[in-house]
Amino acid sequence: MRIAVVGTGYVGLVTGTCFSEVGIDVTCIDIDTNKIENLKKGILPIYEPGLEEMVARNTQKERLSFSTDLATSIQGCDAAFIAVGTPPGEDGSADLKYVLAVARSIGQNMNDYLVVVTKSTVPVGTANKVRKAIEEELTARGVDIPFDVASNPEFLKEGAAIEDFLKPDRIVVGVCSEKAETVMTKLYKPFLMNGHPLIFMDIPSAEMTKYAANAMLATKISFMNDIANLCEIMGADVNMVRKGIGSDARIGNKFIYPGIGYGGSCFPKDVKALIRTANENGYEMRVLKSVEEVNENQKSVLFNKISTHFSGNLAGKTFAVWGLSFKPKTDDMREAPSLVIIKKLLEQGAQVKAYDPVAMEEAKHSLGDTIQYGKDEYETLIDADALLLVTEWPEFRSPNFTVASKLMKDKVVFDGRNIYDAKDLNEKGFTYYGIGVKQPVEQLNATV
């Protein structure tokens, strides 16, 4: 089989590469000439574990190629996947201009039956707009070429994208013809070996499934952040509460980790877009509005603890920040909570020295030289007044706190992801702050 994947970002590049890995001929297309030229040389636009090797392997086997030329690349394809961005417009709704531009381009160039699959996250009704755009272009050309539209939302997580794509919990496909269902079944057959379900449904339901999934996950996180904040007030420990509720299979132990608010390119924008879609249709998503509000507040929780600890005197203080990306194992800085915390510290006249294993180059696009960047995590600690753990990269999980204590000016840790043991740090002479975590008795006595 042969497919084209239009848009070579986090989703398009992973989708195209994984399809080629199972033996399908794939052309990945992008309008960004620089991106495509680099990909041809094996230079990837993003950091995603395992992707570079997989791209190299499949390019070498000539199952994966890169092009800016959509017109040529879609010829002879069974399906064309649209995987371009759908960023939030000013009113929060998903901006469909990139998706529809690709649809028009497909309509202008297709010469044979094609299934046009929307992989981008798009509101209910988008497949109809895609169909209309293609029909208009075919009419303008005076040709009548059969085609189908389908919706195939993507559920991969950055940092684990290959694993998620190759071994999906489920594959959701919205179709409206048997012919399209047959093509999609053939394409996904290699991924179904281990019993992962391929769920066919109508197109609006598939489009809605994507938003419902992200909204549910965001809700779990905001709920736990609310519980964490209450734990703190009431003298309970959210780490214990999380274990206590997570062992109930109905609740589950995933996505209930409190922190400094969810970030990334999708939860914030998809929650906004769903609220907006509902509004436009006369319905109010009350739960999701609160989810958003809790998340906005949560981004300030760590800063508020810092401000309280230093009695509001942050000018001239130096803070070591470990982790910049919105989550570990990615260089993605979109809506990263680190940006909010750093901005607040800088506004108060503090200095920031940060280290991230892969996201520093990307971070420089938004932070520039307003902060210093460390060669490694320990360098950031030299003369620091406190350490802020912002992104829970594996390399930050068990640092040598004895070394750290010798480098730092003041021994204070603000742990935005609850990865350190409060008692252990206290014993090593550190003052510890987590999110909804009980402070050790010794620390409380010392602060009183």
Ligand X SMILES: NC(=O)C1=CN([C@@H]2O[C@H](COP(=O)(O)OP(=O)(O)OC[C@H]3O[C@@H](n4cnc5c(N)ncnc54)[C@H](O)[C@@H]3O)[C@@H](O)[C@H]2O)C=CC1
* Residues forming the site for ligand X (CB under 6 A): 6-12, 29-32, 35, 83-86, 98, 101-102, 120-121, 154, 156, 158, 265-266
Binding footprint of ligand UGA on the chain (CB under 6 A):
121, 154-158, 214, 217, 221, 255-257, 259, 262-267, 326-327
Of 177, 168, 217, give the one whose Cα is nearest residue 195: 168
Compute φ and ψ for 251, nearest 5 degrees: -95, -45
DSSP 322-369: E--SSSTT----TT-HHHHHHHHHHHTT-EEEEE-TTTHHHHHHHHGG
Considering the complex, state which of residue 9 and residue 92 has its C-beta at the smaller distance from ligand X: 9
Considering the complex, state which of residue 156 and residue 387 has its C-beta at the smaller distance from ligand X: 156
Of 412, 392, 416, give the one whose Cα is nearest residue 319: 412
Q: Which does 357 bind (CB under 5 to 8 A by kind): ligand X, ligand UGA, none?
A: none
Considering the complex, state which of residue 11 and residue 117 has its C-beta at the smaller distance from ligand X: 11
Per the document, the length of the chain is 448
Task: State in angstroms the smallest separation of the CB of 8 from ligand X.
Answer: 5
Q: Is the dihedral of CA 132, 137, 143, 148 positive or negative?
A: negative
Task: State in angstroms the smallest separation of the CB of 295 from ligand UGA.
Answer: 9
Considering the complex, state which of residue 63 and residue 269 has its C-beta at the smaller distance from ligand UGA: 269
Q: Which residue is nearest to ligand X (CB)?
A: 9
Task: State in angstroms the smallest separation of the CB of 370 from ligand UGA.
Answer: 22
Considering the complex, state which of residue 265 and residue 439 has its C-beta at the smaller distance from ligand UGA: 265
- Concerning whether 266 is annotated as a catalytic residue, the answer is yes
Task: State in angstroms the smallest separation of the CB of 424 from ligand X.
Answer: 34
Task: State in angstroms the smallest separation of the CB of 255 from ligand UGA.
Answer: 4
Q: Which does 221 bind (CB under 5 to 8 A by kind): ligand X, ligand UGA, none?
A: ligand UGA
Q: Please name the residue that has the structure tokens 């040598």.
A: 400
For residue 274, how far is the Cα from the chain centroid? Answer: 17
Q: Which does 310 bind (CB under 5 to 8 A by kind): ligand X, ligand UGA, none?
A: none
Q: Which does 263 bind (CB under 5 to 8 A by kind): ligand X, ligand UGA, none?
A: ligand UGA
CA distance 439 to 436: 9
Name, in order, each residue with C-beta under 8 angstroms of 311's C-beta and a sequence gap of 6 or more.
Answer: none
CA distance 48 to 46: 6
From residue 434, how far is each of 103, 309, 377, 387, 388 by CA, in Å?
Answer: 48, 13, 19, 12, 10
Task: State in angstroms the smallest separation of the CB of 254 from ligand UGA.
Answer: 7
Task: State in angstroms the smallest separation of the CB of 179 from ligand UGA.
Answer: 28
- Nearest-Å Rg of the Cα atoms of the chain is 24
Q: Which does 256 bind (CB under 5 to 8 A by kind): ligand UGA, ligand X, none?
A: ligand UGA
Q: Which residue is nearest to ligand UGA (CB)?
A: 266
Considering the complex, state which of residue 8 and residue 209 has its C-beta at the smaller distance from ligand X: 8
Of 102, 58, 101, give the one whose Cα is nearest residue 81: 102
Provide the 8-state DSSP code for 166: H
The neighbouring-strand residues paired with 166 are: none
Considering the complex, state which of residue 119 and residue 317 has its C-beta at the smaller distance from ligand X: 119
Q: Which does 217 bind (CB under 5 to 8 A by kind): ligand X, ligand UGA, none?
A: ligand UGA
CA distance 443 to 448: 9
For residue 272, how far is the Cα from the chain centroid? Answer: 15
For residue 2, how far is the Cα from the chain centroid? Answer: 28
Which segments of 2-125 does DSSP mark as H helices, in order? 10-21, 33-40, 51-60, 70-73, 97-109
Task: State in angstroms the smallest separation of the CB of 131 from ligand X.
Answer: 18
Q: Which does 6 bind (CB under 5 to 8 A by kind): ligand X, ligand UGA, none?
A: ligand X
Q: Which does 262 bind (CB under 5 to 8 A by kind): ligand UGA, ligand X, none?
A: ligand UGA
Considering the complex, state which of residue 262 and residue 401 has its C-beta at the smaller distance from ligand UGA: 262
3-state SS assignment for residue 153: coil
SS3 string, 172-222, reads EEECCCHHHHHHHHHHHHHHHCCCCCEEEECHHHHHHHHHHHHHHHHHHHH
* Candidate list 18, 28, 231, 266, residue with the active-site label: 266
Residues belonging to the active site = 266
